Structure 1
Amino acid sequence: MKKIIDQTSEFEKLIDIIVNPVDESTEAYALKLVHVIYDKGWRHSYSLITRRLLKLQIDELNDALQLISANVQELINDINSEIDNYDDCNESANDPEKYSVSLRRCHRNLEKLKDHVTLELMRIDGNKAIEAKVINLHQLVSKKLDNTSEKLESIEGKAEKLEKEYKNQRTESITILGVFTAIIGVIGVGVTLSASIFSNMNSIGNWRLYALTCLIVLFVTNILTALFDFLRDMTDKEKKKNDYLWIFNIGLLFFSFVCFLLSFTL
């Protein structure tokens, strides 16, 4: 049995030619290579095509494969023409039957080469479709994660705000209770002092009674005014102007001082 000669180097030359646009001269040379490669029954491997294309470092592999497919189809058309014109070829061939087998081998292997290129194109298109789906899925997940992060930040912000409002309300409630307690205490002190003074009014004299009453009124009025102003500040209400309070205080102090002096002279 005759050994089949390895035609790998010639096949790589064929790939180098058909990976580029061909003219009449290169097409004739490619057709000659086809006869040399496949004439003795040698078959190319699928991996050899891809390996050669990778060695060529082609940027757009998809475009290159489409060009190879088109150029291989041109070679197939040329082989078909040779088969159709087989009767004329018989006159020049030394062994017509052998020549017919050679043509059909070339045709069959070129069909396989085109089929391998088509499969590679389909694989590339499939990979691109999968890549596009992965990119879209990644963008969708990233968008949802961003929305989730924004929602979490919004929830955390609202929770912090509610917690702060709760603490403020608690503080205000305690403060208000303290203020009202102070008001009640002041009123209680005022009532106690007043009751004590009025119970001993016969022993201290009228003028001293007048003086002490003015001081009690002065004390209670200023304390209550300060407490009410404090409550307005807590509730963010406009603070009332007490422009005449100092006149009232000076008047009561003066009247109390006069009454106190009169208690010694009269």
Structure 2
Amino acid sequence: MQILNEQEKRDSLRQLLMDLSKSQDVLKDRKDRRDYYLRLEAIYYNTDSDNYRHFYSDIFACLSLIDADDSLGNLDILAQNMESIKEGYIPINRDEAHNNELIDIRKEIIKLYDHTNLDISRINYTKRMAGETQSELARAKVLIEDLKNKLAESDVARAEAVNHLNTESSKLKEEVRDGQKKMQNEYITILGIFAAIVLAFTGGMTFSSSVLENIDKASIYRMITIVLILGLVLSNLIWLLIDFLRDINGKSIRKWWLIAITDVVLLLGLLLTFLSYKNHWLDVSPRASISTEAEQHIEGNKATINTEDEESETSKSEKEITTNKTD
């Protein structure tokens, strides 16, 4: 049996673990199994003292290296082969140099199997935890992205709500402003209508009173002409006031035909009055002239009588004065 120093044993053990992790067929033949048993005995058996105790750090380093590189082997295959060695190893060799002492490393193989499986389980657990951690991280990332999207949607919805609120507020302000303007227009309309009514009523009453007071002092032609001209002026003035009120209320439709008909009728009246004046259509009748002369004669007689009375009174006064002087 070849005697190995400590470093050689460490290197041999790491190489043996790598060889066992490469294939499930490495222990298929009996000769191959015997070769691995001999390699293990060369590592662990020690004639001078206790058998060799492997380094736990060497096992962990070797397994970590295998797990990191699939070309070096597989940890599950290593676990299966280590179980086969543990179950199949039987001490049959003897140390001829030391009184044919039986070489027995079953305890060391069991410890190697135990430490190997422990590290394999730990690495698999770490990988599983790392995978779960990565999965949780991926899930957290998805949730974060979802939250970001929802936050963005919320920002958009909030911006839309603010814009809608601003729009509605602007509309409400416009409606209030339009309502105020409409109310002002209605007030102006009411005042205008009242002013038009007062103007028409006052003007009509004043004109009627003036006409009735002076009806005996003017000719009929002049009176009719003045009435028609004043009617023309008042009707147009009232129509202009009503048209102004209609324009304030935004009603562009104007009833031009009303004022047109009124003006045409009044102008026709003026024309007829002028024709009547030229043709003496409205002159006073002979009967009325006789009555007027009779009235003038009566007035003259009254004036003569009054004159005679005044003369008689004067004569009487003179006589009284003469009598008084004689006395």
Interval of TM-score (by shorter of Structure 1 and Structure 2): 0.5 to 0.7
- What is the one-letter code of the residue matched to 1:212? V
Cα separation, partners in 2 of 1:16 and 1:23, compared to 1, 3 Å: closer
% identity of equivalent residues: 8
Structure 1: distance between partners of 2:247 and 2:39: 110
> Does 1:138 find its partner at 2:147?
no
Q: Give 1:71 shift.
A: 0.8
Partner of 2:239: 218
Matched, 1:206 2:227: yes
Cα separation, partners in 2 of 1:100 and 1:51, compared to 1, 3 Å: closer
CA RMSD of aligned residues (A): 4.2
Distance 1:50 1:152, change over 3 A: farther
| Mapped pair 1:11 → 2:14 | yes
Q: TM-score, normalised by structure 2?
A: 0.56
Q: TM-score, normalised by structure 1?
A: 0.66
Provide the residue aligned with 2:74 in structure 1: 68
Alpha-carbon distance, 1:185 to partner: 3.8
Amino acid at match of 1:41: R
SS of match in other structure, 1:42: coil
What is the match of residue 246 of structure 1?
A: 256
- 1:85-105: per-residue Cα shift (whole Å, max 9, x none)? x1xx41466653443344334
Question: Which residue is 1:255 aligned to?
Answer: 265
Selected match of 2:40 from 35, 40, 46: 35
Matches within 5 A, 1:87-106: 89-91=91-93, 96-106=102-112
Alpha-carbon displacement from aligned partner over 1:142-195 (angstroms, at most 9, x marks no partner): 354245334423431332133122211221122112211321342244235324
Q: Matched residues in 1 for 2:64 and 2:274: separation?
A: 126
Select between 138-147 and 3-12 the one with higher mean Cα deviation: 3-12
CA distance in 2, matches of 1:207, 1:151: 72
Mapped to 1, the partners of 2:42 and 2:230 lie a distance apart of 136
* Alignment of structure 1 residues 101-250 onto 2, 5 Å: 101-142=107-148, 144-201=150-207, 202=210, 205-230=226-251, 242=253, 245-250=255-260
RCO comparison, higher one (Cα < 8 Å, 6+): 1
* CA distance in 1 between partners of 2:238 and 2:110 (Å): 128
Q: Describe the superposition over 1:60-114 as per-residue Cα deviations: whole angstroms up to 9, x where unpaired.
A: xxxx9xx83421222222212333xx1xx41466653443344334323322332
Larger of the two Rg values belongs to structure: 2
Q: What is the CA–CA distance in structure 1 between the aligned matches of 2:135 and 2:257, rounded to whole Å? A: 90
